[in-house]
Amino acid sequence: MAKNIQAVRGMKDILPDQTPLWQFLEQRVRAVLNSYAYQEIRMPTVESTDLFKRSIGEVTDIVEKEMYTFDDRNGDSLTLRPEGTAGCVRAAIENGLLHNQIQRLWYQGAMFRHERPQKGRYRQFHQIGVETFGLAGPDIDLEVLLITTRIWKSIGLHGLELQINTLGTAEERKAYRDKLVAYLNQYQDQLDEDSQRRLGSNPLRILDSKNPQMQEIISNAPALIDELGEESRQHFDWVCSGLKANDISFVINPRLVRGLDYYSRTVFEWVTDRLGAQGTVCAGGRYDALVSQLGGRETPAVGFAMGMERLVAILEEEGRAEGLGHADVYMVLMGDKAVTEGFQIAEKLRSEIPQLGLQVNCGGGSFKSQFKKADKSGARYALVLGDDELEKGIISLKPLRDKQDQKELPLQSLSDNIRPLLKSEE
């Protein structure tokens, strides 16, 4: 027998019992973004490889070893997007969205990175991200942080910690870089292989190392935050006071440099201790140099991306999938006439109660087998229609999850009787 073909390693199916939680999360996030009047943008999944090399940076985990890159039939090098910011900036430049305009955008979709698969780390994963363009001040940094905070509130997610830092300007980073290299040079023989390589090419990334053996060296390194000029200092202070004024607690983490090259000034991560090593659920910051780096006019920008798998994992662990996505009502139909008319009654109900999840029995069957299916559907009620009921102009309502009595409801005013039974979820 031929061997069944399996999904690609690290690429998961999201199954019907999981999608309700995904939908819940996506809907809530979308509602929050709408409430800040952000607009959605949809970019292609595949881009020119050069886009990522030029934006993310050649000496990053992503570009060095995580990209899905291939030549298409014309011999052009293409890459499955590993993140959304580069494509969003490319699209904004290409479509003239940045000419003297402010943009507040969001996107969602699958991203691809060839990493070692483990809990919370996949080769295809999903992000919802926000990118804003044309605003240089710290007020918009605060706004995107307020958005993230409101999202956690809206989905009922507690216990996340906000870590923030500032990377200053390119000049400040350059000055700092020299100091850092001088410091790290003292420990050259203790640096791991990655860090030794980065010492020459991208020493700030060494601070981002996850290697436990590197942590002591890293924690004693000079901090960029101490090298800031007046303007960067003020920018950062403004963001911090804004957070305090809005009762958002945070910690300043001077080692937070983010894995991508394009950040400047404010950077942040929302982290949890509930997902092991994969604790960052949302990450972002300011990237004022990226638009010009990709050929556009100089445009300040700030954004973030949330890792949806990690958020879903936390919600799942809390049992939040329970009760989501089931049918509310299952309609049992006995007899030829009931089958025909049942469909019409069901259609009328769906028109009158748009939020109702109503499943009609298909494929016939005895009462017993229909009630089995009703039970499996997760519905809390069955509506039972037989030729008897039809004649009397009624339908029977039978609770499936508790011991309430069966009731007869007049067909005339059915929706008025069904509406109050729905658990209001909004």
Note the residues at the interface with ligand ATP (CB under 6 A): 83, 113, 115, 120-122, 125, 127, 259, 278, 280-283, 305, 307, 309-310
Q: How far is residue 152 from each of residues 37, 109, 241, 317, 425, measured CA to CA in Å?
A: 18, 19, 21, 16, 17
Q: Which is nearer to ligand ATP, 253 or 359 (CB)?
A: 253
Minimum distance, C-beta of residue 207 to ligand ATP, in the bound complex (Å): 13
In the complex, which residue's CB is closest to ligand ATP?
307
CA atoms of 392 and 379, how far apart (whole Å) = 25
DSSP state of 212: G
Q: Which is nearer to ligand ATP, 224 or 332 (CB)?
A: 224
Minimum distance, C-beta of residue 13 to ligand ATP, in the bound complex (Å): 15
DSSP state of 2: P
Q: Which is nearer to ligand ATP, 317 or 388 (CB)?
A: 317
Minimum distance, C-beta of residue 280 to ligand ATP, in the bound complex (Å): 4
Q: Which is nearer to ligand ATP, 89 or 356 (CB)?
A: 89
Minimum distance, C-beta of residue 54 to ligand ATP, in the bound complex (Å): 16
- The answer to whether residues 253 and 236 touch, using CB atoms and an 8 Å cutoff, is no
- The answer to whether residues 301 and 287 touch, using CB atoms and an 8 Å cutoff, is yes
- The answer to whether residues 135 and 228 touch, using CB atoms and an 8 Å cutoff, is no
Q: Which is nearer to ligand ATP, 105 or 334 (CB)?
A: 105
Minimum distance, C-beta of residue 215 to ligand ATP, in the bound complex (Å): 15
Q: Which is nearer to ligand ATP, 124 or 196 (CB)?
A: 124
CA atoms of 72 and 93, how far apart (whole Å) = 24
Report helix, strand or coil for 77. strand
Q: Is 338 exposed, middle or buried (0-12, 13-18, 19+ CB in 10 A)?
A: buried
CA atoms of 308 and 382, how far apart (whole Å) = 35
Q: How far is residue 364 from each of residues 256, 338, 369, 386, measured CA to CA in Å?
A: 61, 11, 9, 12
Q: Which is nearer to ligand ATP, 303 or 378 (CB)?
A: 303
Q: Which is nearer to ligand ATP, 119 or 401 (CB)?
A: 119
Minimum distance, C-beta of residue 120 to ligand ATP, in the bound complex (Å): 6
Token output for 97: 């969205």
Minimum distance, C-beta of residue 83 to ligand ATP, in the bound complex (Å): 5
Q: What are phi and psi of 339, to 5 degrees?
A: -65, -45
Minimum distance, C-beta of residue 97 to ligand ATP, in the bound complex (Å): 23
Token output for 99: 């000419």
CA atoms of 264 and 141, how far apart (whole Å) = 12
Report which of 248, 264, 259, 246 is spatially closest to residue 302, judged by C-alpha positions. 264
